[in-house]
Amino acid sequence: MTTTTTHVPKTLEELLHAAAVLTGPSSSSEIRPADLKGVLHRRLSEYHALYDQHIPAENASLESLQLETATESLLILELLHKALTSPATPAPADHEPGGPTTQRDPSMIGTRDMGLIRTLLSIVFKWAVEPLLQRIVAGIPSTSTSHAVNGARIIDLTGLPHEFSTLSSVTSRLLSLPLSDGITSPLSQSAVTATLLNRHLPDLLLPCIVIGWLPKSLATETMPTADSLRPQVMYLLSRLPASQVISAVGQTLSRAPGPLPYARKTCTFILGRQLIRPEGIRGLCESVFAEEDVSGEDASLEKLEHVARVLCTVPSGMKAEEYCAIVIPRMLLLVSVEDRALPPAHRRAIAFSLSRILTSDANPPLQKCSSDIALAMLHDPILQGNGELTVSASLRTIEVLLTNTDPSPTFISTLFTPIVPSLYALYAHLEGAKTADPLLRESLKGFLETWGRLVGSTEVLGTLWRIIDGEGGIWRVDVAGSISRTEEDDQNAESLSLFTPESLRHAEEAGELDVDSNILGLKPDPVQFVRFVKGLGRADVSSELFVRLLQGYRELQSQRGNEPLKTLLYLQLVLQMQMQISDDDASNVLKKPEHILSFVKHALENPRQPEGGGVKRSSSDAGLRMEDLRIVEDEPDEVDEVDSDDEEPDAGNEETVDDMTTTAVKLLLAVLEANPDLSARTAPVLNDIFSLLEPFSRVSNEELRSLVREARMVMTARLASTSDTSTSKSSKSAGETESPQETYQKALKLLQDPLLPVRAHGLMLLRQLVSARKSTTGTLSEPALDRALVPGILSIFMQSIQDDDSYMFLNAVQGLSAMVDGFGKDVLRGLVKTYSDGVDGLGASAMSQHDVDMRTRVGEALGQVIRRCGDALPSYASLLVPPLFQVVRTSHFPTVLRTSAISLLAQSVRTNALAVLPYIVDLTEAMIDLLQVETVPAPQRTGSEGAPEAKSEAGEAAETETDRPKPHPTMDSQPTSTNTKFPPLRRAALHFLALLIQACTKRIYETGDTERFLLPPDVMRRAKTTLWYIVATDADDVVRVMARETAEGLDQLANAALGL
């Protein structure tokens, strides 16, 4: 549409009136058209009539009328902007009377005027920019018709060049309003430009980006790229606040045409450039959290994640290192400012975004670079005492990050693990300073506890060990609250200056002596450090740290040139952990027994051997030694009295080995006591520990031996108590207060008690439980106990039989014999196997005294069993006699056991001779062979019998201790010896023969059955010859007497056979 302008409004009043005509209803009384097309035609007609312009044609389309209205509105806006930016000028001198003396002041813009300006701008964008842009987007070659304007089915491309030119002109004219003075001058300020930039900046940016950043590959001759728009847009955006630009670009990005990816890419590029502006991050927060800043509400998670996504995106064309070097320090500085300088929503968003950048795996280069920069800024003041931030600012920033981010273990680990030793050292210093800031102290405590509760146990343990190793530095806090790190430490000197015998005596007398005081200045302070570990509430960490301290102490003790202060530190930490972390709470080291059991197993598998003695340390050895801790020098006479024998260190080392093993066993007992449900079923490592304990039950150290046996007893009882008793036949009868099952559980509980009388009572309850019960008919019946529990009870008795206390092992012996009464041959077979095990091999030749003692005590139980069998003994003879006979015949068995076996056979004969009737001949011949081979002839006397009595008293007095011959070895002094020449062996054989002959004689007199009870004639002759030979030649007086009595018994047997 073409118009010829004859007059253009120039004054502000004229422009505002023209705007009112163009945008508002007519003041005439004519009837208004009902349709939009008629309204626009009428307004344009009135507008053009004001200035003698051609009115629009009656047949003009609605689109042409809207475009003409928008074009005229843009013209008025340009004139208004020019008028508003020009100062008021005086009126001419020949002005008419009563007329205005000056033009209207441009600053005098009212509310109605501002409304007109907003309406004009809305018309320009609604009826010019938007429809033209839609048609241009649809006409760009890369645009699919399916993504064109909604509802447009047929696109007329014939007018596209004119429309593109019109859109470029309108966009350029709108852009020139704030840039009327050029891109090298400040933005032009007026009500028009203010409304344009505040309300329509996104509407302006979208066409500028579409045509100004149109790729050359998509541009044509009729639709060229508007290159002139790009510098104008970038300059305009650079002069506006970052918050305004970011908000506008964000809206533009959301409205960018989908078929034009370059438009979205351009928006992202512009947004990235805005972020790296000095106020870019703050501007992003202001644009996103505008509502929260006004209402004071908390920011939503969606907005926090949106800010994080924006800040985690590296601008195109920029390296991650460059981006991080700009953004990360600014984020940290913003977080570290005072609370009043930054709104809470902004602070939380920045902290949230920073945590995402540091922990996100989506962009590894960004994560690594940002971590390096952020952690360096935060950690350098704490680790090195210098950096861009002060220590206080660094701690404040860490607090903000911690309180405004998700409690992610990864983020907590990244942020705290490197500086935990230093934070703990500072916290420990503040704990000891009475004037320290309590808020700072509580903040540090919160940091450490948060880290300790969220991070993995392995990482926590490694970091705690760094604290024990002395990392963390030395800290000072002055009266002004300034925190600094130093390398000088005069605490030890001050504490040692007071560490004198006189001061200790006075402190003890005054009641001021604190046994937990850190007099030597150990770092960390054991009491304080263990209290901190306890506060973490991590039983897994506490137990593993406890075991690691024990291992470290054990290793230091095994080293010749160990560090005494470190050894003392480890020992103090172990003791404090035992005292402080021993109650029933979440950090009880005994509640997580896996690590402690592993340590116990390791300590038992590899007992520390004493180092070779005999080498005295030179006084010039480097390193601090225990002697260096002596405060009062040795007196010369005390030094002279010291024995310089080189064997003394060895003895000390031996005691240390026993101490460490004893500590391991005590820990085992403590763990078992603290975990009532712990057994080999739930912790299979106990099976290995049970086997490893067995050699220590025979050591010479009485305390260790007792502890080991107690531990094995508890483990055996615990395993038995966890047996499946769901199929138990026992039930509480009407007259009983406890069922057998309840008695069994009660006995097992008593057996785990550390007090000896209580354990003995438990054994007594078990003995009563397994004893045979008398039925109503008077016969013995099997105990009312599930047979599945019998192996466990048998194992308990077998463990107790090894106890050094006579009351315990005698109860165990009685219990074993009672089990045979109650459960018969199965139990007896197990006892006999234990007693005779090893007769088929050579292992018995290396038996220890413990093995001999145990088998001997089992033999005592077998003796009781034999006596209690009575007339029923023949039914058990096949289980008893052959194994005992085999023990007698086994030459590599200790003589004590062979003697014991013969005594058991003799007890069988005494109880019921019918039990050995099938073996009479074999046993008799074996005993005769033993006597013939093992007899010891008496030595020949060379002088008269009175010579010994004639020895002079003077000669006896002259005889010295060294000249006297050593006493001959006996079976009591050498219980593990296999020497068969000991007299007790021959005495036992003769005793057996005497009892056997007496029993046969008695049976012949009673029954007259000489065929069954009379020995063969050749055996009788051989026995008689052998016995009389021993009577005449054996060196042992008792043997000779017993042989004579046995020979006389043979004569009585022969007389009985003859009926005499």
Looking at the DSSP bridge assignments, the partners of residue 486 are 474
* Residue 815 maps to a domain: no
Neighbouring residues of 1003: CB distance < 8 A, sequence distance ≥ 6: 913, 1009, 1012, 1013
* Residue 219 maps to a domain: yes
* Residue 960 maps to a domain: no
What is the distance between the alpha carbons of residues 308 and 302, in angstroms, rounded to a whole number?
10
What does pLDDT average to over the chain?
A: 78
pLDDT tier at 625, thresholds 50, 70, 90: very low
Which whole-number Å values give the CA distances from 901 to 357, 757, 802, 830, 975, in the listed order? 82, 32, 19, 16, 15
pLDDT at 660 over 50: yes
Higher-confidence residue: 614 or 229?
229
* Preceding peptide of 524 cis, ω within 30°: yes
* Residue 551 maps to a domain: no
pLDDT at 414 over 60: yes
> Which residue in the block uniquely carries the two structure tokens 């670079």?
369
Q: Which domain range does residue 989 map to? A: 884-936+973-1060
pLDDT tier at 611, thresholds 50, 70, 90: very low
What is the distance between the alpha carbons of residues 1021 and 693, in angstroms, rounded to a whole number?
54
Which whole-number Å values give the CA distances from 857 to 143, 809, 852, 895, 1006, in the listed order? 102, 8, 9, 15, 36
pLDDT at 1036 over 50: yes
Whether the Cβ atoms of residue 368 and residue 429 lie closer than 8 Å to each other: no
Q: Which of 7-21, 23-37, 510-524, 1015-1029 has the lowest mean pLDDT?
A: 23-37
3-state SS, residue 780: strand
Structure tokens at 586: 């979440």
Number of domains comprising the chain: 2
Q: What is the per-residue pLDDT across 271-329, written as a single tens digit (0 to 9) for each?
A: 988 889 989 999 999 888 888 888 888 888 888 988 988 888 888 888 889 999 999 99
Q: HSE, CB side, 13 Å, CA atoms: give it for residue 594.
A: 6
What is the distance between the alpha carbons of residues 679 and 500, in angstroms, rounded to a whole number?
50
User: CA 158, 161, 166, 171 torsion: positive or negative?
Assistant: positive
DSSP 416: H
pLDDT at 770 over 70: yes
What is the distance between the alpha carbons of residues 504 and 492, in angstroms, rounded to a whole number?
17
Structure tokens at 948: 């010994």
pLDDT tier at 46, thresholds 50, 70, 90: confident
The whole-number pLDDT of residue 947 equals 45
Whether the Cβ atoms of residue 422 and residue 371 lie closer than 8 Å to each other: no
pLDDT tier at 727, thresholds 50, 70, 90: very low
Q: Which of 270, 286, 312 is the last residue of a domain?
A: 270
* Residue 910 maps to a domain: yes
CA 934 and chain centroid, separation = 67
What is the distance between the alpha carbons of residues 422 and 470, in angstroms, rounded to a whole number?
10
pLDDT at 477 over 50: yes
* Residue 657 maps to a domain: no
pLDDT at 234 over 90: yes
pLDDT at 351 over 50: yes
* Residue 346 maps to a domain: no
The secondary element (H helix, E strand) that includes residue 1047 is helix 1037-1058
What is the distance between the alpha carbons of residues 211 and 224, in angstroms, rounded to a whole number?
8
The whole-number pLDDT of residue 491 equals 52
| Type of residue at 686 | L
pLDDT tier at 97, thresholds 50, 70, 90: very low
What's the first-to-final CA gap in the chain, in angstroms?
A: 166
Q: What is the per-residue pLDDT across 151-180, written as a single tens digit (0 to 9) for each?
A: 444 555 567 889 999 999 999 999 999 998
Higher-confidence residue: 146 or 463?
463
The stretches of 86-190 forming alpha helices (DSSP H) are 111-124, 130-139, 160-176
The whole-number pLDDT of residue 1038 equals 92
pLDDT tier at 708, thresholds 50, 70, 90: confident
Provide the percentage of residues in the chain whose pLDDT is more than 90: 15
What is the distance between the alpha carbons of residues 1027 and 1049, in angstroms, rounded to a whole number?
11
The whole-number pLDDT of residue 1042 equals 93
Which whole-number Å values give the CA distances from 151 to 136, 147, 154, 749, in the listed order? 16, 10, 9, 88
What is the distance between the alpha carbons of residues 279 and 330, in angstroms, rounded to a whole number?
9
Helices (H) and strands (E) in the chain, counts: 47, 4
pLDDT at 619 over 80: no
The whole-number pLDDT of residue 949 equals 45
pLDDT tier at 818, thresholds 50, 70, 90: confident
DSSP symbols for 434-499: TTS-HHHHHHHHHHHHHHHHHS-HHHHHHHHHHHHTTTT-EEEE-TT--EEEES---HHHHHHHT-
Q: Which of 212, 247, 270 is the last residue of a domain?
A: 270
The whole-number pLDDT of residue 195 equals 93
Which whole-number Å values give the CA distances from 562 to 440, 445, 622, 624, 908, in the listed order? 38, 34, 11, 8, 63
3-state SS, residue 102: strand
Q: Across residues 739-758, what is the average pLDDT?
A: 77
CATH number, domain with residue 997? 1.20.58
The whole-number pLDDT of residue 722 equals 65
What is the distance between the alpha carbons of residues 18 and 119, in angstroms, rounded to a whole number?
13
pLDDT at 26 over 50: no
Task: Pick the closest to residue 298 from 337, 257, 347 (CA basis).
Answer: 347
Neighbouring residues of 162: CB distance < 8 A, sequence distance ≥ 6: none
Whether the Cβ atoms of residue 783 and residue 769 lie closer than 8 Å to each other: yes
The whole-number pLDDT of residue 108 equals 66
Q: Across residues 7-23, what is the average pLDDT?
A: 80
The whole-number pLDDT of residue 206 equals 93
The whole-number pLDDT of residue 644 equals 40
* Residue 706 maps to a domain: no
Q: Which of 220, 254, 270 is the last residue of a domain?
A: 270
The whole-number pLDDT of residue 4 equals 42
What is the distance between the alpha carbons of residues 386 and 975, in angstroms, rounded to a whole number?
75
Which whole-number Å values give the CA distances from 836 to 337, 473, 855, 863, 894, in the listed order? 85, 67, 8, 14, 12
Q: What is the per-residue pLDDT across 360-407, written as a single tens digit (0 to 9) for each?
A: 778 888 888 988 898 888 898 888 877 778 888 888 888 888 887 777
Classify residue 366 by burial, with Cβ atoms within 10 Å: 0-12, 13-18, 19+: buried
Whether the Cβ atoms of residue 851 and residue 833 lie closer than 8 Å to each other: no
Residue 617's CB: how many other CB atoms inside 10 A? 11
User: CA 341, 343, 345, 346 torsion: positive or negative?
Assistant: negative
Neighbouring residues of 306: CB distance < 8 A, sequence distance ≥ 6: 288
What is the distance between the alpha carbons of residues 588 and 667, in angstroms, rounded to a whole number?
13
Q: Which of 394-398, 882-886, 956-960 has the lowest mean pLDDT?
A: 956-960
pLDDT at 730 over 60: no
Task: Pick the closest to residue 798 from 853, 757, 724 (CA basis).
Answer: 853
| Type of residue at 550 | L
The secondary element (H helix, E strand) that includes residue 774 is strand 773-774
Label the pairing between strands 780-781 and 773-774. antiparallel
DSSP 707: H
The whole-number pLDDT of residue 133 equals 92
